[in-house]
Amino acid sequence: MPMNLAKNDMTTIEKIQAWLAKEPKDDETIKEGALLLLTIDRNKFYYQRVCKAPQYYAKHVIYKLENRLKMRLDNITEQKVESMVAKEMPTAKAIMEAKPVADDAEEESEEESQDGYQRKGKREDHDRLPKKIQDNWFTCAELWHKIKQTYNSLLQMHDARPCDRYDQVQLLVSMDKRYRKLMNEYDDYKIEE
């Protein structure tokens, strides 16, 4: 069920923030949090489970409210998260399939992937590049592995609600942007002779 946009107002945000700030989280406080979740996503079954065993679900209620708060503060709906997932998953898959940063890093490859991004591989003049530009290559190697991990964890979360996948999608988007920026700097750097 999509997040109710009418509920995406400042009073709901303030209620979530006030609840998260409350300490300690006793049974009544956790039930209040579950009631707040009920007003947001209308999951009566979840609300009833929390009311029967509040301490058991305490961390989960906190987690769910933090996720909903983050989405509301970013003014993101569940539909927007779904469209982000639909846009970023093929992009991440293309990055992984192209493998522009090989583990042995000595292979030369120049190919254009499905997303139109030119991968040139490690440059022949890599050792003559400034240290900062050389470091881009190794940073991208680390980013490639992190993108792969995030992509795979999102694949495993295919049944999860968009608000639960939001953090991972945001992470994937930011890593993808950074990866492309650093690879472009590396590929396009001209050595002055």
53 DSSP assignment: S
d(CA 162, CA 68) in angstroms, rounded, equals 10
Q: What is the pLDDT of residues 144-186, one digit of tens each?
A: 999 999 999 999 988 888 888 888 999 999 999 999 999 989 8
* Separation in Å, CA 118 to CA 69, 122, 123, 129, 188: 39, 13, 13, 20, 11
Q: Is the pLDDT confidence value at 110 over 50? A: no
Geometric angle at alpha carbon 52, from 47 and 56, rounded to 5°:
90
CA-based torsion, 183, 187, 189, 192: positive or negative: positive
Q: What is the pLDDT of residues 57-96, one digit of tens each?
A: 999 999 999 988 888 888 888 888 889 888 888 888 888 7
Share of the chain above pLDDT 70, in %: 83
The whole-chain average pLDDT of the chain stands at 82
Domain residue spans in the chain? 5-73, 78-188
Spatial contact of 126 and 134, defined as CB atoms under 8 Å apart: yes
Share of the chain above pLDDT 90, in %: 38
Return the structure tokens found at 112: 């254009």
pLDDT band at 30 (very low <50, low <70, confident <90, very high): very high
Residue 38 pLDDT: 92
Name the pairing type of β-strands 118-119 and 111-112: antiparallel
Q: What does pTM read for this prediction?
A: 0.67
d(CA 40, CA 126) in angstroms, rounded, equals 54
124 DSSP assignment: T
Q: Is the pLDDT confidence value at 118 over 80? A: no
* Separation in Å, CA 15 to CA 10, 12, 68, 88, 130: 8, 5, 12, 32, 52
Residue 163 pLDDT: 81
